[in-house]
Structure 1
């Protein structure tokens, strides 16, 4: 399967919920340049408040992209990303799968709130999945996607 998935994960705490820290968090990109020559791979970019939102990137194989990808009748079927059973808000109803033609890409965003098991402190995460069906140029995800799915909710 010729597909490239970029998973951009931004994590923060209460510290970055307001003021200048929130402005810094909101300036974090939801797409990054890909390494040159990347094909059929998962490109992960993690940006955490504890690292001053500096991106940590790695390339992995497509065995666990966080969503199910299948080729069906010449299209790439992208099922909704996996959600943590420990995250809020609950998502009992999920959007349907998206089908991409060769050369098209999708941006799927979903956010979460978690409660710490020891201290009860809340933490937050935004995951953005940029998914391309076909060969990738390094700047492919810096443009406008053919399809968008926004599952972001109010996190309180």
Structure 2
């Protein structure tokens, strides 16, 4: 599987005007670079366990208001279960977790999990809204976009239209 996690973050200052235009123009998917061999190699200490059950190697892209929404890319290893992925019966079940729960805008309920066949991919978007406990800082916002392909993906796959699009964004006022 191929996983890309794009997180866009901003404050109230980017809710309108030119800053909002830059934020709204930010890409939801990026070309996937080659995986670094130091992170993608399975652990020699656990040769009997398939690497897919140990962790997920994720192409991480961060864009923020502070740097004009310029993408910063890298790779990260996330623990199993961190992305809500599970293989069963020749399909990949995808249901990204909602974390942290206190940052959720109101939603009626979560959509069901998506089951991908080999060669398919999903773009799943979730948004969050936060305030400081004392109210001394501006509201802040995140948009998490998960681009997840079942099977190997060419470098430009996430620049195309997804097989399935799940927009789980709620109102952020």
Same fold (TM over 0.5): yes
Q: Which moved more, 1:33-42 or 1:86-95?
A: 33-42
Select which of 69, 84, 87 maps to 2:103: 87
Q: Which moved more, 1:74-83 or 1:46-55?
A: 74-83
Q: How many residues align?
A: 154
Preserved CA contact (<8 Å) 1:9 1:128 = yes
- Cα distance, 1:67 vs. partner? 2.0
Preserved CA contact (<8 Å) 2:105 2:170 = yes
Which protein has the larger Cα radius of gyration, Structure 1 or Structure 2? 2
Q: Please, what is the CA RMSD of the aligned residues?
A: 1.9
Select which of 101, 124, 128 maps to 1:112: 128
Unaligned runs of 5+ in 1: none
What does residue 29 of structure 2 align with? 31
The yes-or-no answer on 1:44 pairing with 2:60 is yes
What does residue 123 of structure 1 align with? 140
Q: TM-score, normalised by structure 2?
A: 0.82
Preserved CA contact (<8 Å) 1:80 1:95 = no
Structure that is richer in strand per residue: 1
- Cα distance, 1:100 vs. partner? 0.2
Distance 1:103 1:7 in 2: 19
Structure that is richer in helix per residue: 2
Q: TM-score, normalised by structure 1?
A: 0.90
Preserved CA contact (<8 Å) 2:107 2:170 = no
Deviation >4 Å, runs of 4+: 37-40
What does residue 20 of structure 1 align with? 18
